[in-house]
Amino acid sequence: MEDSHASTAPIRMYWRGLRGLIATISLLVIGGGLWYAVDAVLIDRTPIVVGILHSRTGPMAVSESSMIDAEILALEEINQSGGLLGRTVRWEIADGASDWPVFALEAQRLIEEEKVCVVFGCWTSASRKSVLPIFESQDHLLVYPMAYEGLEQSPNIIYTGAAPNQQITPAVQWCHEKLAARKFFLVGSDYIWPHCVNAIISDQLAGLGAERVGEMYIPFGSTDVDAAVRAIVAAKPDVVLSAVVGDSALAFAKKLREAGVRPDKTPVLTFALGESELSTVSRQDMVGNYAAWTYFQSIDRAENKDFVRAFKARFGASRTVSSVMESSYNSVRLWANAVTEAETTDVRQVRFALRHQSLNAPSGIIAVDPETQHTWLPVAIGRIRGDGQFDIVWSSGTAVRPAPFPLTRSREAWIAFVDDLHQRWGGKWAAPAGLTMDATNAAGSTP
C-alpha cells in the first residue's frame, strides 16, 4: 500500500512555501508602509516657494517682463530635472508696476504672506533701494540680476548683474581709446542709477583729461525727450553715454535719429538697451550705436547656443535673449546650486552657500565673490546690427572681479553722495522735479 505521508508531502511543502511567501509579502508591505509613514513625517515633500518681483506693467515692463521669462525657464528646467531636495519648486510672481512703493509692498507680501525662501527681482536701483530695508529687517534674501551703479553692499542681497567696473568704466575707456572720444555728453533717466553712473563717469573723464560737455536727465517714464536731444545737437559731443531706461530710452533713440544724430558722427553707447528692447522698436533708429553689457546673444559658445535654443523653444522662435535675461537665468541656477549644497532652503544657510558658487554660464565662467557678494563677470561691448543683434567689438575674454565702490572716491564719500541725493529728493530715490539740465549744480556730480 502506498505511503499516505509520501503522497501528501508535496502538498504540505506547497502550503508551507505559500505561507512563507505570504508572510514575506506581509512583512514587506508592513515595512514599506512604515517607511512611507516615516517618509511622510520626516521628509518634507511640499513645494519650495520662491518669489519673482519685476514690473509686468508700466514703463519698465518692456525690459522687466523678459527677466520673468528667463527666471521661469530656469525654474522649469530645475523641476524637469527632479526639483530640489526631492521637492518641486513653485514660484509666485509679483508685479512691481514700475512703481517703487509698490515694489516695497510686494516684497513684504512675498515674504510674509507667500512665505517665499528667496526673491529674484528688481531692475531699477530705485526699486532695489525701496525693497532693501524690508529684506534687511526680515533678514531675508534678494538676488538682484541687473547691472547697476554699485555704491552698495548688503548682506541680504546677492548681486548677479554688473558692478560699475564691469560695464561703465570699461565702456568709457573704450570710447576714449577706440572712438578717440574727448567730448562726452551724459544723459539718463532722472533717478538714482543714472545720477550715480554719471558721477562715476565724471570722475573717470577728469582722470582721462576728457571733457563732459553736457549732462541731462529725463523724468522717469517720460517720452518727452526733445530738450535733451536739442542739447546734444548743440553740444556736438564725440559720443553720447546713455543711462535712459524703459520707454524713455526707445523714444530717445527715435528722436536722436530724427534730429540727425547718427553713429558715424556722434555714436551713442547705451547702458540700458539690449536685444529684447530692440526687438520692440524700429531698429533703424539704433543701428550702428553701441551697448556695454556682460552678455550678448551673439556670443559664440556652446553653452550660450543651448541657452538661446531652450529659451526660443519655450517662449517662441522670434524671441531674443539679452544680458539681463542671462543674469536672471544665472541667478536662479546659482541659487539652486546653493540650496543643493546647503541641503536646505533656510535663508541664512543658502545665503552663505551662495557666496562661493560658480557657474559655467552662457557668457562664460562666473562666480560669486564672497567678500562683496557681487559676481565675477565677463565684459563686452557690442555694435547694434540691422537684425537687432550685436557685433561684439570688444570683450574682456574672462570674468572681471567686481568692484562696487570705484577707487576715485572713498567708500565713505560714495555712501555720502548717495545719501545726499536721497535727502535732496525728499527721501525718495528719484528727483521730484522735471528735467535736470545743469549737472554742475547736482551734489557730487563733479570730482
In the chain, domain spans: 48-162+323-377, 165-299+381-441
Give, for 361, the enclosing helix (H) or strand (E): strand 358-361
Going by pLDDT thresholds of 50, 70 and 90, the confidence category of residue 23 is: low
Predicted TM-score of the model (pTM): 0.87
Q: State the sign of the Cα–Cα–Cα–Cα dihedral 100, 102, 106, 108.
A: positive
- Give the other-Cβ count within 10 Å of 9's Cβ: 11
Residue 363, classed as helix, strand or coil, is coil
Q: What is the pLDDT of residue 357?
A: 98
Sheet order of strands, 364-368 included = 358-361, 364-368, 375-376
Classified by CATH at the fold level, domain 48-162+323-377 comes out as Rossmann fold (3.40.50)
Q: Which residue has the higher pLDDT, 164 or 278?
A: 164
Helix 347-354 and helix 323-342: axis angle, to 10°?
Answer: 120
Q: What is the pLDDT of residue 26?
A: 63
Q: Which long-range contacts (CB under 8 A, 24 or more apart) does 443-446 make?
A: 443/417, 444/199, 444/416, 444/417, 444/420, 445/195, 445/198, 445/199, 445/202, 445/215, 446/202, 446/206
Q: Which residues does 123 contact at the CB level (< 8 Å), separation at least 6? A: 54, 55, 60, 63, 64, 67, 146, 245, 324
Length of the chain: 447
Q: What is the pLDDT of residue 295?
A: 97
Give, for 144, the enclosing helix (H) or strand (E): strand 142-144
CA distance 316 to 402: 34
- What digits encode the pLDDT tens for the residues 82-123? 999 999 999 999 999 999 999 999 999 999 999 999 999 999
What average pLDDT score do residues 1-25 get?
A: 59
Best CA proximity match to 207, nearest among 173, 163, 244: 173
Q: Which residue has the higher pLDDT, 281 or 131?
A: 131
Please tell me if the domain spanning 48-162+323-377 has the same topology as the one spanning 165-299+381-441.
yes
What average pLDDT score do residues 53-74 get?
A: 95
Specify which residues 157 forms β-bridges with.
142
CA distance 165 to 144: 17
Phi, psi angles (nearest 5°) of residue 304: -70, -40
- Give the other-Cβ count within 10 Å of 203's Cβ: 20
Q: Which residue has the higher pLDDT, 132 or 40?
A: 132
pLDDT of 330 higher than 90: yes
Q: What is the pLDDT of residue 325?
A: 97
What average pLDDT score do residues 221-229 get?
A: 94
**What radius of gyration, in Å, describes the C-alpha atoms of the chain?**
28
Residue 151, classed as helix, strand or coil, is coil
Q: What is the pLDDT of residue 152?
A: 98
CA distance 290 to 307: 24
What average pLDDT score do residues 303-320 get?
A: 97
What average pLDDT score do residues 285-297 get?
A: 95
- Strand 157-159 and strand 183-189: the pairing is unpaired
Give, for 277, the enclosing helix (H) or strand (E): helix 275-278
What average pLDDT score do residues 166-173 get?
A: 98
Going by pLDDT thresholds of 50, 70 and 90, the confidence category of residue 22 is: low
Best CA proximity match to 96, nearest among 146, 129, 125, 57: 57
- Percentages helix, strand, coil for the chain, rounded to the nearest 5? 45, 20, 35
Give the lowest-confidence range in 160-164, 273-277, 296-300, 404-408.
273-277
Q: What is the DSSP letter of 167?
A: T
Residue 184, classed as helix, strand or coil, is strand
CA distance 445 to 82: 51
Q: What is the pLDDT of residue 384?
A: 95
- What digits encode the pLDDT tens for the residues 341-372? 999 999 999 999 999 999 999 999 999 999 99
In the numeric block, which cell numbers belong to residue 126? Answer: 530705485
pLDDT of 4 higher than 70: no
CATH superfamily of 165-299+381-441: Response regulator (3.40.50.2300)
Specify which residues 103 forms β-bridges with.
none
State the amino acid at position 426 in one-letter form: G
Phi, psi angles (nearest 5°) of residue 60: -90, -5
